């Protein structure tokens, strides 16, 4: 919306020219989303607590400490995240940019799916929720639509391609395999964040570090001078995604204010599925899906720990590789306190985001 102040009145009112700059609008989107979270957080948490008699159902087979400390905590705090991201992006992004609408709609689609799952868990008061198969099918459908939209909007030359880190100007054209690839990226990112969200603040930290990484990547990929200098894909219009990423960081900081240990609210599948899908979508539009795997390496590590644990458990007739999966529970079982696990996983995430950014130069 503010972008229109520049296009409509920038010539007459000099100050409005500031709204043309992506950098200014990205920082403004971050601060706006943070403000929205602080404003709406307390009343939303009170409302969630009032309408969730028992709060998040806590499984009895998890770490014993969880049963003692987490009973009654409301979930679906992801609505706060989605409110901040969506409102702030609508205020600060150029709404004629179709990439912005694709990311917002896919994010909200996954958010609604997660909210329905959270609602079923609450009404049934068990951690089962929506049928896994149906949930997975809906995720595939939304992701396929998102991938197709990216194909249709994108530059024809690169619409079905992706880039490889460390290689200059090498693009792999996936043709129609781009859609299954997109489904894998978006559904994979969404569920990896979902699995990671098992300790206070654990998921939102890396979501913000990855979003910060993609603020820069979106800006560079959308700027032909920087893209040519770094010899990465130049994709006009992706710069606006920096504003969405800025809003995601701001809303994430606001959510973390209430999710910091001991959490007053959990994001729920409402937040974890949507945040992961958003990052997956942005990595596809900027043609840096493999960079997402590096910057989001913590999410990859968590998902792989589950795959290895479940696979080995089935193949070995009940033996385990980890004390408990996902891997954050393994360290809890080894005696690390919850904040210790969270802060150390954040450190890993920040290092991975910095490594991911270095690949832009190491080509």
Query: What residue ranges bind ligand 57M (CB under 6 A)?
Result: 56, 58-59, 61-62, 66, 70, 75, 127, 194-195, 197-200, 259, 263, 266-269, 272, 306, 309-310, 313, 320, 324-326, 329
- Give the Cα separation of 15 and 22 in Å (integer): 15
Which one, 294 or 325, has the nearer CB to ligand 57M?
325
Q: Which is nearer to ligand 57M, 4 or 313 (CB)?
A: 313
Tokens of 161: 């391609």
Looking at beta carbons only, is 164 or 306 nearer to ligand 57M?
Answer: 306
Q: Of the candidates 307, 114, 287, which has an alpha carbon nearest to the alpha carbon of residue 217?
A: 287
Q: How far is the CB of 110 from ligand 57M (least distance, A)?
A: 12
Q: Which is nearer to ligand 57M, 200 or 240 (CB)?
A: 200
Under a CB-based contact definition with an 8 Å cutoff, are residues 249 and 30 in contact?
yes
Distance between CA atoms of residues 266 and 120, nearest Å: 16
Does 262 sit behind a cis peptide bond, omega within 30 degrees of 0 on the bond before it?
yes
Q: Which is closer to ligand 57M, CB of 53 or CB of 361?
A: 53
Identify the three-state secondary structure at position 156.
coil
Identify which of residues 240 and 269 has a Cβ nearer to ligand 57M in the complex.
Answer: 269
Q: How many residues does the chain have?
A: 363
Q: To the nearest whole angstrom, how small is the minimum distance from the Cβ of residue 120 to ligand 57M?
A: 12
Distances in Å between the Cα of 88 and the Cα atoms of 9, 81, 265, 297 are 21, 11, 22, 27
| Residue 42: count of CB within 10 angstroms of its CB | 12
Q: How far is the CB of 356 from ligand 57M (least distance, A)?
A: 24
Q: Where are the alpha helices (DSSP H) in 198-296?
A: 204-221, 224-230, 241-259, 268-285, 289-295
How much helix, strand and coil, in percent to the nearest 5, is found in the chain?
70, 0, 30
CA distance 285 to 335: 41
Measured distance CA(123)–CA(216) in Å, rounded = 42
- Residue 335 Cβ vs ligand 57M, minimum distance, rounded to whole Å: 16
- Exposure of 157 in the CB half-sphere (CA atoms within 13 A): 8
Q: Which is closer to ligand 57M, CB of 210 or CB of 267?
A: 267
CA distance 267 to 272: 7
Residue nearest to ligand 57M (CB): 62
Least distance (Å) from ligand 57M to the CB of residue 201?
6
The answer to whether 57 and 127 have CB atoms below 8 angstroms apart is: yes
- Residue 214 or 266: the one with the smaller Cβ distance to ligand 57M is 266
- Distance in Å, CB of 129 to ligand 57M, minimum: 9
Alpha carbons 295 and 349: distance in angstroms, whole number: 7
We find the least distance from the C-beta atom of residue 174 to ligand 57M, in angstroms, to be: 29
Minimum Å distance from CB 346 to ligand 57M? 13
User: What crossing angle do the helices spanning 204-221 and 22-51 adopt, rounded to 10°?
Assistant: 150
Residue 195 or residue 353: which is nearer to ligand 57M going by CB? 195
Q: How far is the CB of 302 from ligand 57M (least distance, A)?
A: 9
């Amino acid at each position: 919306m503010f972008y229109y102040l520049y296009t409509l009145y920038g010539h007459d009112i000099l100050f409005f020219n500031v709204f043309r700059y992506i950098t200014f609008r990205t920082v403004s989107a971050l601060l706006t989303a943070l403000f929205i979270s602080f404003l709406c957080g307390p009343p939303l948490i009170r409302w969630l607590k009032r309408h969730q008699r028992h709060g998040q159902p806590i499984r009895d087979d998890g770490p014993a400490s969880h049963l003692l400390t987490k009973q009654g905590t409301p979930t679906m705090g992801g609505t706060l995240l989605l409110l901040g991201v969506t409102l702030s992006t609508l205020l600060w992004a150029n709404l004629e940019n179709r990439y912005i609408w694709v990311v917002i709609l896919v994010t909200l689609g996954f958010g609604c799916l997660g909210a329905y799952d959270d609602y079923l868990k609450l009404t049934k008061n068990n951690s089962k929720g929506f049928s896994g198969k149906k949930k997975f099918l809906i995720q595939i459908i939304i992701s396929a639509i998102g991938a197709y939209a990216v194909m249709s909007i994108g530059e024809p030359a690169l619409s079905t391609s992706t880039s490889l880190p460390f290689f200059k100007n090498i693009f792999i054209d996936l043709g129609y395999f781009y859609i299954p690839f997109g489904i894998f990226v978006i559904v994979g990112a969404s569920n990896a964040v979902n699995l990671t969200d098992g300790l206070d603040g654990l998921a939102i930290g890396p979501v913000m570090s990855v979003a910060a990484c993609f603020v820069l990547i979106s800006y560079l990929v959308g700027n032909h001078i920087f893209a040519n200098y770094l010899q990465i894909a130049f994709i006009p219009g992706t710069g606006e995604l920096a504003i969405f990423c800025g809003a995601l960081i701001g809303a994430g900081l606001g959510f973390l204010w209430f999710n910091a240990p001991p959490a007053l609210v959990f994001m729920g599948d409402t937040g974890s599925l949507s945040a992961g899908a958003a990052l997956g979508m942005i990595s596809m539009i900027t043609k840096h899906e493999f960079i997402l795997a590096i910057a989001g390496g913590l999410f990859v590590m968590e998902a792989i720990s589950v795959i290895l644990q479940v696979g080995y458990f089935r193949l070995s007739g009940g033996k385990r590789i980890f004390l408990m999966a996902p891997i954050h529970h393994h360290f809890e079982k080894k005696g690390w306190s919850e904040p210790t696990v969270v802060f150390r996983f954040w450190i890993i995430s920040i290092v991975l985001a910095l490594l991911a950014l270095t690949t832009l130069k190491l080509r």
